[in-house]
Amino acid sequence: MKIVRVLSIAGSDSSGGAGIQADLKTITALGAFGMSVVTALTAQNSLGVQGIYEVPTDFVEKQITSVLTDIGVDAIKTGMLTTTETLTAVAGLIRKYGIEKLVVDPVMAAKGGEALIKGEVKKTLIRELIPLCFIVTPNIPEAEILAEIKISDIHDMESAAKIIHTHGAKNVLVKGGHLTGDTAVDILFDGKQFHAFSATRIDMGETHGTGCTYSAAIATLLAKGQNITEAVKGAKAYITGAIRHAYSMGTGYRLINHLAPVLPDE
């Protein structure tokens, strides 16, 4: 049986809940071979981020080239890309190697909605990377930044998805976790029609790593040959199960359980 290969280009989370660590756990849990390119090192725990060290762009390029010229990939997902130079370099290599199954998790806004990247970095993400992606997966604050509109309901999510699609993404998934209500609804726009994916909202308090995990799951299922609606549906089920079984490992936010969705029920 052929093992599919999924590469995560993202930041490292020393707490293990998000970033590269969450991606590799997700890829492995869903039965694929995970690889990583580290774009930044973070010192963080369940209380927050205490420090960030950005990996030099030339070394990010070297990591990507090492993987693509030897092992190869069936899908790539990107996460934390915080400089214009790194964004441009990553986009250039994706074009060079003709990567078709690219999932872009635009890490643009923190949980509170404040922008993490802005100005020229934001413009570079929109200009260089989004046009190359098979799907981009913004949450509500990120979709508001990309579409430059306020989002307060599902109709706004659909409007934002259509606007973001004009930036060149083949598919746009606007995640509705930041809205209120008993149901968490995500909206996928494939360029022609909308698809809604719903799950009962789980009140577990603050959780960490959901966006990273969701996008890594989509990339893995795409790599395994699923179409876009199948991949999003499967990834939505996976992240819902991981949130449902989240646990407290520190004194701050809860960490989602990446193995829970694939383990047999007790």
For residues 44 and 114, the answer to whether their CB atoms sit within 8 Å is no
What is the residue type of 120?
E
Query: Which one of 207, 213, 220, 240 is the catalytic residue?
Result: 207
Query: Which one of 17, 79, 209, 241 is the catalytic residue?
Result: 209
Q: What is d(CA 25, CA 12) in angstroms, rounded to the nearest whole number?
A: 13
For residues 108 and 124, the answer to whether their CB atoms sit within 8 Å is no
As to burial, measured by CB atoms within 10 angstroms (0-12 exposed, 13-18 middle, 19+ buried), residue 1 is exposed
To the query of whether residue 207 is one of the catalytic residues in this protein, the response is: yes
For residues 206 and 111, the answer to whether their CB atoms sit within 8 Å is yes
- Who contacts 196 (Cβ-Cβ below 8 Å, separation ≥6)? 154, 185, 186, 187, 188
To the query of whether residue 176 is one of the catalytic residues in this protein, the response is: no
Say what the pLDDT of residue 116 is.
Answer: 59
Say what the pLDDT of residue 167 is.
Answer: 96
To the query of whether residue 191 is one of the catalytic residues in this protein, the response is: no
What is the residue type of 234?
G
Report pTM. 0.94
* Integer Rg of the chain from CA: 17
Query: Which one of 25, 39, 212, 220 is the catalytic residue?
Result: 212
Q: What is d(CA 90, CA 102) in angstroms, rounded to the nearest whole number?
A: 11
Q: Which long-range contacts (CB under 8 A, 24 or more apart) does 122-126 make?
A: 124/84, 124/87, 124/88, 125/81, 125/87, 126/167
To the query of whether residue 212 is one of the catalytic residues in this protein, the response is: yes
Alpha-helix runs per DSSP H in 129-227: 140-147, 154-165, 210-223
To the query of whether residue 84 is one of the catalytic residues in this protein, the response is: no
Cα→Cα distances 92→79, 178, 243, Å: 16, 33, 35
Say what the pLDDT of residue 59 is.
Answer: 98
Say what the pLDDT of residue 47 is.
Answer: 82
Q: How many residues does the chain have?
A: 266
Domains (ranges, CATH) in the chain? 5-259 (3.40.1190.20)
- Who contacts 150 (Cβ-Cβ below 8 Å, separation ≥6)? 144, 156
For residues 154 and 176, the answer to whether their CB atoms sit within 8 Å is yes
For residues 229 and 195, the answer to whether their CB atoms sit within 8 Å is yes
**Paired tokens of 86:** 């790194």
What is the residue type of 214?
Y
| Look-up of token digits 């973001």 | 164
Say what the pLDDT of residue 192 is.
Answer: 95
To the query of whether residue 210 is one of the catalytic residues in this protein, the response is: yes
Query: Which one of 11, 19, 34, 211 is the catalytic residue?
Result: 211
Block means of pLDDT (10 residues each) for the chain, 266 residues, are 93 91 96 96 85 94 98 96 94 97 85 60 92 96 93 94 97 85 88 91 74 96 97 95 83 83 69
Query: Which one of 25, 77, 101, 175 is the catalytic residue?
Result: 175
Say what the pLDDT of residue 67 is.
Answer: 98
